[in-house]
Chains A and B, each alone.
Chain A
Amino acid sequence: MTDTTFTQATARGWLRSQSRWSPFEIIFWLALLLPFFLFPTYLPLASQIAIAALFALSVDLILGYAGIITLGHAMFFGLGAYCAALLGKAGWGEPISGLLLSGLFAGIIGFIASFIIVRVQHLALLMITLGLGLLTQELANALTWLTGGTDGLRIPRTWPIFNYFRFDLWGYTGYGYTLAVLFICFLLSRRIVNSSFGLALRGVRENIKRMPAIGSAYQSHQQKIYAISAAMAGMAGALLAQTTSTVTLEVLSFNRSADVVVMLILGGTGRLYGAIVGAIIFLIARDQLAGVNPQYWYFWIGLLLMVVVLFMPKGILGFVSRLAGRRD
């Protein structure tokens, strides 16, 4: 009868065992360096994938772990992008401080928005996030003097990173920069989901009514993760603005919010690598299919999505881990 009490020490041990690095993960991250050597002409695509992966990661934190469904997360992506763009336009082109400021800005707005978000669930939550996203886009459209409206903004080239790595035409710096930011944010997310806070979030996702019953303040948990996720989405947007030197209303569009959910469904929600794998598959498929047929490539994306949803309900990674015989 000695092992029936689940002591704090074993809980900590369990969390620690969850956060141990597996060799697969190390290989995965090393593989992300391959484009530098194998596909140097695909680096612009690779950096857009890294940006999309970061955005998908931010949505996974709330959708996959905290059970907050959203169709308006492009709002924070766009706010970050415009923040970085306006900083650049005002004459401050230093990338890293610009990135952090944009993330902070999106995070603050996310925290404010979270007061509404935590009060609703399910369909109402979808509508609220959708509405907030559309309102933000319309606001940006109305503020043409600030945002450039439908024409978009062109910003001066971002300054070299550490005053040394210039943003080049081939995209070496662009990919190195976006990949580094993705990796750091991934480490952060990994730390979050494998903490007791992350465990509480999963509890919220599984049964929101039981959490108060065991004395867990689920609303403040949700608010925290929502603000963190908004900041991360804002950083993804800032990366896009900084690496492409342009920003348009499209960064706030419903399409972007929907695409990121599609990426998550493809890769598998509730697992951090699902976000990255989903972004890789979605963007490479789009690039290749659009190359074959620039008009009707969306058909194939739709087909891919249907196949994944029908035959791999837990996404491609969920399918792979089932094949490997591992339980979630």
Chain B
Amino acid sequence: MLTRRVTLALGVALAMSTSALAQETVKIGVILPYSGPFADAANQLQAGIDLYIAKHGDTVAGKKIELIKKDTGGPNADTAQRAAQELVVRDGADIIAGFALTPEALGAAPVAEEAQKLMVVMNAATSNVTEQSEYIVRTGVTIPQVNYALGKWAFEEGGVKQAYTLVSDYGPGHDAEKSFSAGFTEAGGKMLGSDRTPVANPDFSAFVQRVKDANPEAVYIFVPGGAQPAAIGKALADRGLNPPATKIFAQGELTHPEALESMGENARGIITTFHYTLERDDPLNKEFVDGYTAANNGRQPDLFSIGGYDGMHLIYEALKKTNGDASGDALLEAAKGMSWDSPRGPMSIDPETRDVVQTVYIREVQEVDGKLQNVVIHEIPNVKDPLH
């Protein structure tokens, strides 16, 4: 009889404690293009999130972290908006996060604004994303941030007086072209010309010939990942447009380790600008890369992974500051001005614009131990987005 009562009491206590625990969760809705052409980006970003949770536990300030994933299938603003709406009204999410692509962030922004939830943009890299709502904080990168800095550096430190740009004809390409040119000309450089190539372009030879005819000291290129880095590297080398005679500038994705493999020798000497360098010698970075590759079958982290990882860091630290209060306003206050050491280097959140402030690395592809890799040749600390 006694044992029966004890088990009953135990059962009741257990039920109560689990229900108490259930109230003590913080739900994070993650909106990403899990299916479709950008699925790989979503998986890399998700792996960054997962690694952070695996490392730091799934409990913060006494609250259990629960992720709810929503697929957008690609750059679909309407699906992202519905996902955000459902996360808030149906799933009771406290924070919405993710956003690999700009249209996703633009779609979800009105929901974050109306529901007053913290929205952590972990990648979407168009400058104006953070202007869409007071509740948006970005932990990734913006295209103008790294390219404006590169343009400035190219004239002031790189010793280049005139340059040419060749970018893919779509939003990110236009942004990159604009911000590189702005940084370069404001510093005193001269643009000889600019060309745009179709987004899915297999052959660059005609474009590269035009660049060669202008005879620039340097050419800035921006193409989407996949087969294109190798194609443009080959076209440039075929026409004799390669370092050291002509400097080649680009954004970091162009010489990401996987792209480097396909470009081979043609990559040597290319100078890129980025906020995260896989090979950067730093204990935090080493720990991050080792943990990441171990958890993902040897796959190396990229810009999406680091954006997700730091996005989770921001959420965890903000929750610690508010003692577990997950209301949008409290978290936002905690996030503004927050600064920390990330595997990418020191970074912070601008209290005014809620955008990421970080070190921009200028890297050159050099041979290290018989293997081509990105070597940091210059660091520009505390770079803000120049357009805000």
Contact = CB atoms under 8 A, between A and B. Distances in A.
A151 B199 CA distance: 14
A149 interface: yes
B101 to A, nearest CB: 8
B172 A240 contact: no
Interface stretch (B7-15, B78-86, B264-272, B296-304): B78-86
A152 B74 contact: no
Given A44-B89, A294-B32, A297-B71, 18 more contacts: A41-B89, A41-B90, A42-B90, A45-B86, A48-B82, A150-B103, A152-B107, A169-B88, A171-B85, A248-B78, A248-B103, A250-B76, A251-B78, A290-B71, A294-B35, A294-B70, A295-B43, A296-B35
Given A170-B89, A295-B39, A296-B35, A246 B171 contact: no
Interface of A: 41-42, 44-45, 48, 141-142, 144, 148-152, 154, 157, 169-171, 240, 244-251, 290, 294-298
Given A149-B171, A250-B76, A245 B103 contact: no
Nearest to A249: B75
Contacts of B34: 290, 294-295
Nearest to B90: A41
B161 interface: no
Interface string B185-211: 000000000000001000000000000
Given A246-B106, A290-B35, A296-B35, A149 B71 contact: no
Contacts of B32: 294
Contacts of A154: 77, 106, 109-110, 132
B35 A297 contact: yes
B86 A152 contact: no
Contacts of B170: 141, 149-150
Interface string B46-90: 000000000000000000000001110011111001100110111
Contact of B71 (A42, A244, A251, A294): A294
A250 B74 contact: yes
Determine which residue in B32, B89, B111 has the highest number of CB atoms from chain A within 10 A of its CB, and name it. B89
B77 A44 contact: no
A145 to B, nearest CB: 10
Given A169-B111, A170-B89, A244-B78, A151 B171 contact: yes
A157 B76 CA distance: 18
12 contacts: A44-B82, A44-B89, A48-B82, A141-B169, A149-B170, A150-B75, A150-B103, A169-B89, A246-B81, A247-B77, A249-B75, A294-B71
Nearest to B91: A41
A235 to B, nearest CB: 16
Nearest to B102: A151
Interface of B: 32, 34-35, 39, 43, 69-71, 74-78, 81-82, 85-86, 88-90, 102-103, 106-107, 109-111, 114-115, 126, 132, 169-172, 174, 199
A152 B89 contact: no
A148 B199 CA distance: 16
A298 B39 CA distance: 12
B77 A250 contact: yes
A240 B79 CA distance: 10
Nearest to A290: B71
A57 B86 CA distance: 26
A244 B82 contact: yes
Nearest to A40: B89
A250 B89 contact: no
Nearest to B68: A291
A298 B77 CA distance: 19
Interface centre among A151, A290, A296 (most CB of B within 10 A): A151
A144 B110 contact: no
B17 to A, nearest CB: 28
Contacts of B74: 250
Contacts of A152: 75, 77, 102-103, 106-107
B77 A244 contact: yes
A81 to B, nearest CB: 9
B169 A142 contact: yes
Contact of B106 (A41, A42, A151, A170): A151
B89 A246 contact: no
A150 B71 CA distance: 19
B98 to A, nearest CB: 11
A45 B82 contact: yes
A154 to B, nearest CB: 5
B237 to A, nearest CB: 29
